Chain A
Amino acid sequence: MNPTSQRLILPLLLAALLAFPSFGSDFYVELVAKTLVLAIFAMSLDLLVGFTGLVSFGHAAYFGIAAYAVAMITPKYDPASLWLALPAAIIAAGLAAFVIGLFVLRTKGIYFIMVTLAFAQMVFFLFHDTNLGGGSDGVNINFKPDAAIAGWAPFDLNEPGQLYYFIVAALVAVYGVLKLVLRSPFGRVLIGIRSNEHRMLSLGYATFYYKLAAFTLAGALAGVAGFLYAVLSGFVTPELLAWHQSGNVLLMVILGGMGNLVGAIAGAFAFTAMQEAFGAWTKHWQLAMGLAIVAAVLFLPGGLSAIPARLKRAMTGEEK
């Protein structure tokens, strides 16, 4: 997508998101809110997969750790403070990514994929097999975090409408942070690493530390998504950390087109839409969805974000 069309489309999309609760039913408002959370998750993974060239197959670990952080920090009979729970969730996810990154970033290619998966599975079993977070049954979050600052509450996350706008704001903030990072000297180095890491080394970049910083940031931003998911659903289970979840978010990034933040958002919407549509149509929806994804990868290389350029080429009759 070229910059001018993005500049036009983005405000329109945002306006649509902001207006949606006034005509969508409660069910759809919650579905869109859930999808926006997944979009944040997908954008955080795109920083690694699409921009740094690191195909992480264990990104759900950081999403899940943040969700569990909310559950653990929330007292049984009281809400936790939003201003404590949100940073705690982000820091927990970022810290986990930092520590795991120290190990996994020593590997490359297929080994990186497998080792990120292995670490995520370790985290999965940590929550699944111990009583740390309620074991395999998961744990309820009885109260949504309280936004009050010294007795004054700017908004109330118990109101579905206000929670929806809080999630939209988080999406815009994460998008903004990533855009800023990607145009900064740091982001330029990440894109250079994706293109040719060896050259970056010989140009004097200690690429390991750049990749570690990217991995940590991506984990922390996945933590934002994990936090929102826990708040939205009021319930966390080990499934949030499972490899299915890592695979799903990777599919969202691929569907949307790697290395494009708007694509990652589009990928999350396409994924949820397919899940809903096929789910309503047949109980074998996963089979239908698998076929649809195979078709998308075969016939739409570059993902959804490549569609505008393809349309333009088709209309002007230009070759490649």
Chain B
Amino acid sequence: MSHATPQREALLVAEKLTRRFGGLTANSNVNLTLERGTLHALLGPNGAGKSTCINMLSGDLPPSEGRILLGGKDITGLSNHQRSRVGIGRSYQRTNIFPKFSVLENCRLAAQSRRQQPWRIVKDAVRDPDTLARAHAAIAEAGLAGREHRIAGQMSHGEQRQLEIAMVLATDAQVLLLDEPLAGMGSDESAQMVELLKRLRENRAILLVEHDMDAVFAVADTITVLVNGQVLESGDPDTIRKSPAVQQAYLGHEGADHV
């Protein structure tokens, strides 16, 4: 188990991230550390600022203040495509795939982003062995083997969520930012996804934004609770479960929705 690893390698560090929208402060001084081999869950009631936080980490939204470090290097100024190139992969809350392409083409395009070679005009993109190998490996790792030629938009919701993760894997991302991968899934599909998350964390750092409390406590190594854009508590699942502040602020608030 990853907890036994003697030294933890901090991959992505967010320092004092703050984001204001006009007069509204959506995130205020948020500190987060994502370590290789661990799954860090971000919890919080609706409107707590989870989406703002993940958007700042993925480069979809520039922070108003604070900085983001990847392996010690400041990447705050990088845009979303540049962050992808340095190894931060993201999945979206609302399924964000290429619906008319096959599963393979979705993942092949993702894999191609690592060796783009746009000037190679006479090269047949779909026959590049290196890109294809990465795409197939990602499909297998996400549990979609055998469904390579299905049209993405015609698959079940759960399969599309798996595909979204496969696409992130095909980019060779070291840091995975997963925005509610379990949303809208049945219990069987959820259980499969939880197993997948456990496998994926082994050699990567994962940030999981999720509403499903059972899943979060089953899979997370560290949990950070956001309330009103601020970190209320951060620690291992036991600490969070026992924290009076969390029980009061978060479970007290919206607890009824999650029982």
Contact = CB atoms under 8 A, between A and B. Distances in A.
Interface of A: 180-181, 183-189, 192, 195-196, 198-207, 210, 213
B109 to A, nearest CB: 5
B137 interface: no
A119 B123 CA distance: 34
Nearest to A210: B118
15 contacts: A184-B121, A184-B124, A185-B116, A185-B120, A185-B125, A189-B109, A189-B116, A192-B109, A195-B100, A201-B79, A202-B84, A202-B92, A203-B110, A203-B171, A204-B84
Interface string B75-86: 000011110110
Contacts of A183: 124-126
Contacts of B79: 201
B160 interface: no
Given A185-B120, A188-B125, A189-B116, A202 B60 contact: yes
A203 B167 CA distance: 8
Q: Identify whether the interface residues of B are mostly helix, strand, loop, or mixed.
A: loop
B38 interface: no
A189 B121 CA distance: 12
B101 interface: yes
A185 B111 CA distance: 11
A203 B108 CA distance: 11
Nearest to B122: A180
Contacts of A195: 98-101
Given A202-B80, A202-B96, 9 more contacts: A184-B122, A184-B123, A185-B123, A187-B125, A188-B108, A196-B96, A202-B84, A202-B92, A204-B82
Nearest to B114: A204
A206 B84 CA distance: 10
Interface string B52-88: 0000001010000000000000000001111011000
Given A185-B128, A195-B98, A198-B96, A203 B84 contact: yes
Contacts of B167: 203
Contacts of B80: 201-202
Interface string B101-112: 100000011101
A77 to B, nearest CB: 41
Contacts of B125: 183-185, 187-188
A201 B80 CA distance: 6
B259 to A, nearest CB: 34
A189 B100 CA distance: 14
Contact of A207 (B81, B114, B122): B81
A203 B109 contact: yes
Given A192-B109, A202-B80, A204-B84, A185 B117 contact: yes
B113 interface: yes
Q: Which of A183, A187, A202, A213 has the most CB of B within 10 A?
A: A202
8 closest pairs, A vs B, by CB?
A204-B84, A204-B113, A186-B118, A185-B125, A188-B125, A195-B98, A204-B85, A203-B113
B144 interface: no
Secondary structure dominating the interface of A: helix
Contacts of A198: 96
Contacts, number: 85
Nearest to A188: B125
Chain B CB within 10 A, most for which of A184, A185, A196, A198: A185
B121 A196 contact: no
B68 to A, nearest CB: 16
A202 B90 contact: yes
B86 to A, nearest CB: 9
B10 interface: no
A199 B105 CA distance: 13
A199 B97 contact: yes
A180 B122 CA distance: 6
Nearest to B91: A202
Contacts of B109: 188-189, 192, 200, 203
Contacts of A204: 81-82, 84-85, 113-114, 171
Contacts of B81: 200-207
Contacts of A207: 81
Contacts of B114: 204
A188 B113 contact: no
Interface in B113-172: 113-114, 116-126, 128, 167, 171
Given A202-B58, A203-B171, A186 B101 contact: no
Nearest to B87: A204
Nearest to A206: B81
B26 to A, nearest CB: 20
A206 B118 CA distance: 11
Contacts of B117: 185
A188 B97 contact: no
Contacts of B90: 202
A186 B121 contact: yes
A203 B117 CA distance: 15
A217 to B, nearest CB: 10
B69 to A, nearest CB: 19
A196 B164 CA distance: 13
